[in-house]
Amino acid sequence: MAVRAETPRYDVPWTSGRIASWIATVDHKRIGILYISTALVFFLFGGAMAELMRAQLARPNEDFIVRNSYNELLTMHGTIMIFLVVVPVWAGFANFVVPLMIGARDMAFPRLNAFSYWMFVLGGIVLLGSFFAKGGAAHTGWYGYPPLSVKAHGHGQDLWILGLHILTISSLAAAINFIVTIHNMRTAGMTWMRLPLFVWAIEIYSWLLVVVLPALAVGLTLLLLDRQAGTHFFLPAEGGSPILYQHVFWFFGHPEVYVMILPAFGVISEVIPVFARKPIFGYKALVFAMVVIGFYSLLVWAHHMFAVGLPVGLQTFFLVTSLSIAVPTGIKIFNWVATTWRGNLIFDPPMLWALGFIVVFTIGGLSGVMVALFPFDWQVHDSYFVVAHMHYVMFGGAIFAMFAALYYWWPKMFGHKLGRRLGIWNFWLVFIGFNLTFFPQHMLGLLGMPRRVYTWDGDGWWQAYNMISSIGAAIMAVGILVFFVDAFWSRKGRVPRVGNDPWLGDTLEWYATSPPPPHNFDRVPYVTSARPLRDLRRRLQEGINA
């Protein structure tokens, strides 16, 4: 494999094998690659479920996958994409990149790091395995609202709770590890204002996880007790409150959205300056915006509950906080656009994804402003309008950035680039397929199509938009498969190796060899700015010219 095995500190014979060395590894780079590849496998599962749902919804009154089978798909699609794809894929990139970016030898707690990864695998197995449970997988939505989730028969819901508990432990351990690493292991000269923006994003990602995951754990535990121990925290028949669960869940659930999108912001903030051949515009503003977004994300949760019938005063509070988040988000977008001004824009695949991200994420952000206005949300809440909105933010945001990150850091991970031609196909197929899939869903929501329905009946525009959406989903699937073909085809020996710094990057990971040795760096240059590698290149250039 691409990353060289570390020398075991103790001679444990079984850990030196080709596969065993990956199982026993505590090296952050290998764990990062394991995280990313495992998340990509789950991405295929979750994506296949989405394709099945779009097949069912392509035509009216279709009979392909109906009722609880469909409900299982929609529940597990959401759960997988959030907990097994986006959150862990960022943990993977953070694992690989953060220690390199801050000039550290490894994560602060390498074994805890391996523990996080294997808990993630276990959680994933429990969740996917729940399809074989009595009564099938969970089928009450990725948020599992009681009383429905308490009444749900079979073991799927219990395994769902168990799986999320395991993933919570995994994410908490990882988050604490990132925080300790970033706070303590930055190399000489790397002050907070010289920290790469991706590292800043992971810092806030980690803090948000630490703050909100306990709320999820509490909610899920009470739910489990209601299901299995005869308690009635959320059961109105015995005086419990189903609304309480919604508050607890969304106190976790909305910051979770920013857990998924802040690292994406980080990636975009790394990629755009490197491919625009300019410094990032407004570094401090971008840091400030991320901190503010992180803080505000803790105060907006009840905008998921505008249809619950909360007092108008309370809804007003959440309207104000939700709209406020648009301000720092806008600052980020404007700064990214400004970074491209007068640049030397090189459209390699990472840049294509980053520029595509700006366009689709802006659309998702704007529809987010719309649904923050609660009287309007009363119309479109739980309709396909929201499905469109959240996919513009989560797919158009997080997944576009994930592809940018894959193409950007692939040479660092494996010593060679992914193919440029296939990368361009990959981007355009997904970009077009994505917009065909999700843009018409805004219209479906406005026409009155609720979410989470296994079938629909309608004519004219209903048929047109649903069909376009399903065709778009198929195009997207082809585009994503192009990436996997590329990833498998571009292997050692088939494609030329590139140097340590193929993109002429700004940050320290490009100072290490590609792939980096187990100890990362023989020595690390003293950091005097947020772009230590460019400084180094210039010093070398001056040395040659002198």
Which residues does residue 450 pair with via DSSP β-bridges, in sequence order?
383
Q: How many CB atoms lie within 10 A of CB 169?
A: 18
Q: Measuring CA to CA, which residue among 308, 300, 306, 304 is closest to residue 241?
A: 308
Burial 215-245 (b: 16+ CB within 10 A, else e): bbbebbebbbebbeeebbbbbeeeebebbeb
Near other proteins by CB under 8 A: residue from 25, 38, 113, 140: 140
Q: Is 451 in the site for other proteins (CB under 8 A)?
A: yes
Closer residue to other proteins, CB minimum distance, 56 or 168: 56
**489 a catalytic residue:** no
Q: Is 68 in the site for other proteins (CB under 8 A)?
A: yes
Q: How many CB atoms lie within 10 A of CB 144?
A: 23
Burial of 284 (0-12, 13-18, 19+ CB in 10 A): exposed
Segment 324-343, which members bind other proteins (CB under 8 A)? 324, 326-327, 330-331, 333-335, 337-338, 340-343
**451 a catalytic residue:** yes
CB of 67 to other proteins, least distance (A): 5
Segment 243-262, which members bind other proteins (CB under 8 A)? 243
Near other proteins by CB under 8 A: residue from 12, 125, 151, 539: 151
Largest CA distance in the chain: 83
> Do 514 and 412 touch, CB atoms closer than 8 A?
yes
Q: Is 461 in the site for other proteins (CB under 8 A)?
A: yes
Q: Measuring CA to CA, which residue among 541, 491, 531 is closest to residue 511?
A: 531
Q: Is 440 in the site for other proteins (CB under 8 A)?
A: yes
Near other proteins by CB under 8 A: residue from 303, 381, 389, 417: 381
Under 8 Å CB-to-CB from 397, ≥6 apart: which residues? 260, 261, 264, 357, 360, 361, 364
Query: Which pair of structure tokens corresponds to residue 187?
Result: 């190399």
Near other proteins by CB under 8 A: residue from 87, 97, 276, 390: 276
**303 a catalytic residue:** yes
Q: Is 41 in the site for other proteins (CB under 8 A)?
A: no
Near other proteins by CB under 8 A: residue from 96, 198, 281, 400: 281
Indicate which residue of 75, 329, 340, 514 is catalytic. Answer: 329
**304 a catalytic residue:** yes
Compose the 211-250 pattern: x for residues touching other proteins by CB under 8 A, - for all others.
-------------------------xx---xxx-------
Closer residue to other proteins, CB minimum distance, 33 or 449: 449
Q: Is 285 in the site for other proteins (CB under 8 A)?
A: yes
Q: Is 416 in the site for other proteins (CB under 8 A)?
A: no
**170 a catalytic residue:** yes
Tell me the three state secondary structure of residue 497. strand
Near other proteins by CB under 8 A: residue from 499, 504, 517, 526: 504
How many residues make contact with other proteins (CB under 8 A)? 89
> Do 322 and 303 touch, CB atoms closer than 8 A?
yes
Segment 159-178, which members bind other proteins (CB under 8 A)? none
Please give the Cα distance from 177 to 198 (Å, whole number).
Answer: 16
**191: phi then psi, degrees, rounded to nearest 5:** -80, 175
Segment 343-362, which members bind other proteins (CB under 8 A)? 343-347, 355, 358-359, 362
Tell me the three state secondary structure of residue 504. coil
Question: Which amino acids are annotated catalytic?
Answer: 77, 106, 142, 170-171, 254, 256, 258, 269, 303-304, 329, 332, 451
